[in-house]
């Protein structure tokens, strides 16, 4: 029996009839890409659209039997090439496992399947007065399982924690098809090694996440207060954000856009949008700060003073509509860039105090390579997204050279080459440089414990 | 050359002259115990009082060379037998590595050696307006390295997170003496597997923690507000605490003591202490709740209403001295028990909604075995510490039978057999029951990646 017959038999007639297994070339081609713009060469042999845990188990048993790679996949919104279907692999999509199985307001947790879309989960939680804190910019289309597989954070991490902190337990199908549960429904629990944290951010290389018990937080009380500020240059804006952190104010959102970003947003939305929001079209940098909770107005007033001391021109908004207009400027960032070409969205992080230096370095690298690098930063947690805009489908070598320079600089400043997007294929060549040879070797050995046959997303994270 | 000569040569003459290496029988006997009351049989061969990373590396190289077990140890305040020096082992104490190497107010982090005592760290941080959130009841004598090695939480976890969330990066000496660094100085960072989380709570079985970069939080603004409440029985008190959580109030501290606890505290402090605090000496349960932050008074008022609805008699204190008197009742718990015999402090956790059921079960188990089990719970996170008081030095078999019943009940309620003390020796026989055979097997294989010779704290966590 060949792989496909074996897999079809393992999935069962009903599943096959329902379209769980497909070899349609158009569908196989569609899963060779993600949102990074990178497309894997060759073509996967099959796509399994799992709707039940048993489908995932059957797929991994088939893959083990035939020594065929499995590429786990959610909504495909990744930015590092981690879920791209490679040549000869089975792509195992869990996007169709999208049920919210339980919400416990008492225990402030939810049990979900991996394909639940972030914003759907938070819409469902809203009447309970609770929320799931991980908040990637792609929340309208990204899935909770994908957040967990990449430990993707988003805008709220400085105040509400990274994704790992929001995951209490996982159901995971191992490489040989066995199903295990990790973690607890409790806040605390220290029996054995923390496999929950180990699977979080493992990018499909240790097992396939088929369920998650996630921690929920109470929605902040009161109205948020939003500040928008224009600065003459990005260094002064970065200085202001560092002062806000050092003053122990805790904004929920603190987003910083540099001059090249602001110019493109103004071009995209029309300069009057910026003028309406700030009373000026000029400016070299934009800082957006939002405080929530009952002290938001006081916190915002204190932040406004710090911003003005740092040379910023600030507008404070207690009004939801006006706050929304300020946020709209931030949200226009990616569409504004995408309108001008293909975009490679990078993702370094540095200690917050080093943000001004990192912005200086980005400016230098931009000049050295003659490439504009509009950058937005989650300034509250030191995570920067420098963006390379280019013509054509794939990023040319010079873009990767500039990106390599960027990664090295971030690591030299005490930071990391990926704050939240993951390593995938696109950053694997720099991984060993950051980890060092001893940690790298340990990680490879760790993988082999979970994946002795090397069938789980091979070529992702590790390799050059 | 024998082990001790080899070790002395590796440590160097200066270290040996300074007392880094000792074989004094009294000192070796002293490290056979921890605060659990359990003492290991036999005697270690040597005690290394490391004051530098190089001492730890030399010790592990010697242990690898001679295939001798190494038992890493901090202040010895553990409660599960995890750091007890076993027969023939080298006990490697890092209590003397107690420097605070860096405090960055800007990046809200500190870099510390493992032997720094919790309360010393927080005393040092106080002028910066920052704190290290892990807050075990033993904070005056326990070390940061020990917190991390056991993922020990304490009183503030529901609001401020477990220890794992407070650790950004670690320096770890591996079994063969190599030094690696994990994690980042950044809030976010997802390069490779999360070794920082894997070492956190690994109880000395994967490597020896010789340094930590820990996340700091801003001290809450404003004055705390403290509530003390007496209830007719523990079930109604547990119900009140569940209501407070469900109402999305977020106390920093929420401690619940049952009737047997309260009786012993009244005996210990004198009944007038309870009467002064509450205007009554009677009562079957005591709930202590403390809110911090600028909304503390409003939160406390809301909690007081819920407590009264649940049948409690409540006193709200905005005054620091009165609050301190209420806290003193909680702090008297362990001394009150210790005054009546030897104490085995247990440590289960259940989902917060199951607290009333767990208290019922404790009452049933207490009756079934004819053993009083005074219990205090961190009610905000569902972590209970049932205490067994007995005569003689070691807990008799019937105490362990009752404890086993307790563990099974906690797991059946969706909980765990250890919320924060760890597995050590005393709970290893129940570990596989909670994890299940597949997870257990994975964990054993994981250990072998880090410790191929089986020299790192063998017999702890795993084994029966």
At which residue do the structure tokens 């349609």 appear? A24
What DSSP letter does each residue of B348-387 carry, written as one string?
EE--GGGHHHHHHHHHHHHHHHT----EEEETTTTEEEEE
pLDDT tier at A412, thresholds 50, 70, 90: very high
The pLDDT tens digits of the residues spanning A277-327 come to 665 656 789 999 999 988 899 999 999 999 999 999 999 998 878 888 888
Q: Give the whole-angstrom CA distance, residue B235 versus residue B243.
A: 12
Distance between the two ends of chain A, CA-based, in angstroms? 35
Which run of H or E residues covers position A345? strand A342-345
Structural element, H or E, at residue A66: helix A53-66
Q: How far is CA A308 from CA A69, A225, A237, A318, in A?
A: 56, 17, 10, 18
Write out chain A residues lying below 8 Å of B461, CB-based: 192
Instruction: With a cut of 80, say whether residue A196 has pLDDT above it.
Output: yes
Share of chain A above pLDDT 70, in %: 99
Flag whether residue B301 sits within 8 Å of chain A, measured between CB atoms: no
Q: Select from B102, B170, B175, B191 the residue whose CB has the most chain A CBs within 10 Å, as the one to mutate to test that interface.
A: B191
Cα-based distances in Å from A50 to A96, A342, B318: 6, 32, 56
- pLDDT higher than 80, residue A136: yes
Whether B158 sits inside 8 A of A445 (CB atoms) is: no
- Min CA distance, A279 vs chain B (Å)? 32
DSSP state, residue A127: G
Cβ atoms of B395 and B344 within 8 Å: the answer is yes
B359: closest CA among B427, B284, B435, B429?
B284
For an interface test with A, the pick among B126, B187, B408, B421 (most A C-beta atoms closer than 10 Å) comes out as B187
> If you average pLDDT over residues A375-398, what whole number do you get?
93
Is pLDDT above 90 for A133?
Answer: yes
B-contacting residues in A 261-280 (Cβ below 8 Å): none
| B190–A422 C-beta distance less than 8 A | yes
Query: What are φ and ψ of residue B287, in 5° steps?
Result: -120, 125
pLDDT tens for each residue of B86-137 = 999 999 999 999 999 999 999 999 999 999 999 999 999 999 999 999 989 8
pLDDT score at B279: 58
Given CB atoms, is A356 within the 8 Å cutoff of chain B?
no
Q: Which pLDDT score, from 0 to 100, does residue A451 have?
A: 98
Window B:415-444, CB contacts with A under 8 Å: 415-423, 427, 431, 434-436, 438-440, 442-443
Write the DSSP symbol of residue B219.
P
Nearest CB among A129, A414, A418 relative to B248 is that of: A129
Please give the Cα distance from A409 to A415 (Å, whole number): 8
User: Does A178 contact chain B (CB < 8 Å)?
Assistant: yes
Q: Do A416 and B218 touch (CB under 8 A)?
A: no
- Give the pair of three-digit tokens for residue B59: 């010790």
Which domains, ranges and CATH numbers included, belong to chain B? 3-93 (3.30.43.10), 100-218 (3.30.465.10), 225-335 (3.30.70.3450), 341-433 (3.30.70.2740)
Check residue A457 and report its DSSP letter. S
**How many whole angstroms separate alpha carbon A84 and alpha carbon A110?**
29
Which pLDDT band, with edges at 50, 70 and 90, does B424 fall under? very high
Given the structure tokens 């000049």, which residue do they identify? Answer: A367
A282 is written with which tokens? 């000029």
Rounded Cα gap, residues B306 and B244, in angstroms = 7
ipTM of the complex: 0.96
The reported pLDDT for the residue numbered B151 is 95
For residues B233 and B237, give the distance between their C-alpha atoms in angstroms, rounded to a whole number: 7
- Return the DSSP state at B82: S
- Establish if A157 touches chain B: CB-CB under 8 angstroms: yes
Among B176-190, B309-323, B406-420, which stretch is predicted with the lowest mean pLDDT? B309-323
Mean pLDDT of B227-241: 94
Tell me which residue in A186, A194, A461 faces B164 most closely, judged by beta carbons.
A194
pLDDT band at B278 (very low <50, low <70, confident <90, very high): low
Nearest CA in chain A to B384: A188
User: Hey, are the CB atoms on A423 and B187 less than 8 Å from each other?
Assistant: no
Flag if B191 and A417 touch (Cβ within 8 Å).
yes
From residue B181, alpha-carbon distances to B101, B174, B195 in Å are: 16, 10, 9
Task: Specify the long-range contacts of residues B294-298, CB closer than 8 Å, at least 24 apart.
Answer: B294/A294, B294/A295, B294/A298, B294/B221, B294/B222, B295/A221, B295/A294, B295/A295, B296/B222, B296/B223, B296/B224, B296/B225, B297/B225, B298/A294
Helix A428-435 crosses helix A397-412 at what angle (to 10 degrees)? 20
Nearest to A443 among B107, B130, B193 (CB): B193
For all residues of chain B together, what is the average pLDDT?
94
Q: How far is Cα A174 from Cα A83, in angstroms, rounded to an integer? A: 17
Q: Quick check: B161 and B134 in contact, CB under 8 A?
A: no
pLDDT tens sequence across B364-404: 999 999 999 999 999 999 999 999 999 888 889 999 999 99
Higher pLDDT among residues B262 and A114, named by residue:
A114
Separation CA B246–CA B267 (nearest Å): 34
Interface of A with B in 78-137 (CB under 8 A): 104-109, 129-130
State mean pLDDT over A3-20. Answer: 97
- At residue B356's C-alpha, the angle toward residues B353 and B357, to 5°, is 95
Q: What is the pLDDT of residues B318-374, one digit of tens each?
A: 887 888 888 888 888 989 999 988 999 999 999 999 999 999 999 999 999 999 999
Q: Enumerate the H helices of B226-311 as residue ranges.
A: 234-246, 259-269, 271-278, 296-309
What H or E segment, with its residue span, contains residue B446? helix B437-450
């Amino acid at each position: 029996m060949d792989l496909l017959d074996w897999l079809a038999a393992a999935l069962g007639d009903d599943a096959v009839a329902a379209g769980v297994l497909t070899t349609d070339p158009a569908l196989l081609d569609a899963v060779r890409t993600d949102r990074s713009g990178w497309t894997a060469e060759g073509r996967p042999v099959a796509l399994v659209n799992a709707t039940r845990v048993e489908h995932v188990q059957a797929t991994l048993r088939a893959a083990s039997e035939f020594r065929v790679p499995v590429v786990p996949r959610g909504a495909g919104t990744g930015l590092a090439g981690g879920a791209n279907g490679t040549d000869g692999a089975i792509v195992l999509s869990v996007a169709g496992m999208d049920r919210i199985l339980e919400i416990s307001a008492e225990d402030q947790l939810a049990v979900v399947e991996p394909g639940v879309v972030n914003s759907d989960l938070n819409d469902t939680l809203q009447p309970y007065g609770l929320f799931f804190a991980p908040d990637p910019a792609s929340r309208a289309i990204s899935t909770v399982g994908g957040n967990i597989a990449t430990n993707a954070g988003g805008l709220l991490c400085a105040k509400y924690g990274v994704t790992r902190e929001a995951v209490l337990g996982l159901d995971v199908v191992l490489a040989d098809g066995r199903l295990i549960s990790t973690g607890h429904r409790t806040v605390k629990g220290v029996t054995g090694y923390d496999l929950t944290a180990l699977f979080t951010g493992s990018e499909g290389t240790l097992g396939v996440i088929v369920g998650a018990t996630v921690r929920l937080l109470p929605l902040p009380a009161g109205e948020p207060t939003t500040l928008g500020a224009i600065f003459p240059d990005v260094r002064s804006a970065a200085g202001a954000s560092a002062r806000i952190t050092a003053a122990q104010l805790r904004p929920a959102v603190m987003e910083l856009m540099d001059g090249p970003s602001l110019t493109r947003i103004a071009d995209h939305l029309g300069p009057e949008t910026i003028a309406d929001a700030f009373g000026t079209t000029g400016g070299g940098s934009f800082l957006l700060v939002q405080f929530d909770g009952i002290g938001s107005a006081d916190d915002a007033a204190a932040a406004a003073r710090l911003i003005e001391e740092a040379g910023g021109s600030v507008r404070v908004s207690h009004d939801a509509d006006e706050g929304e207009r300020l946020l709209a400027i931030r949200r226009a960032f990616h569409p504004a860039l995408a309108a001008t070409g293909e975009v490679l969205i990078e993702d370094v992080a540095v200690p917050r105090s080093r943000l001004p230096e990192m912005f200086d370095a980005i400016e230098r690298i931009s000049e050295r390579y003659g490439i504009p690098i509009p950058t937005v930063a989650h300034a509250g947690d030191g995570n920067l997204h420098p963006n390379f805009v280019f013509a054509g489908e794939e990023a040319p070598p010079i873009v990767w050279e500039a990106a390599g320079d960027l990664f090295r600089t971030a690591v030299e400043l005490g930071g990391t080459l990926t704050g939240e997007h993951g390593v995938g294929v696109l950053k694997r060549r720099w991984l060993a440089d950051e980890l060092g040879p001893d940690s790298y070797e340990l990680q490879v050995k760790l993988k082999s414990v979970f994946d002795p046959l090397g069938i789980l997303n091979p070529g992702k994270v590790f390799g050059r």
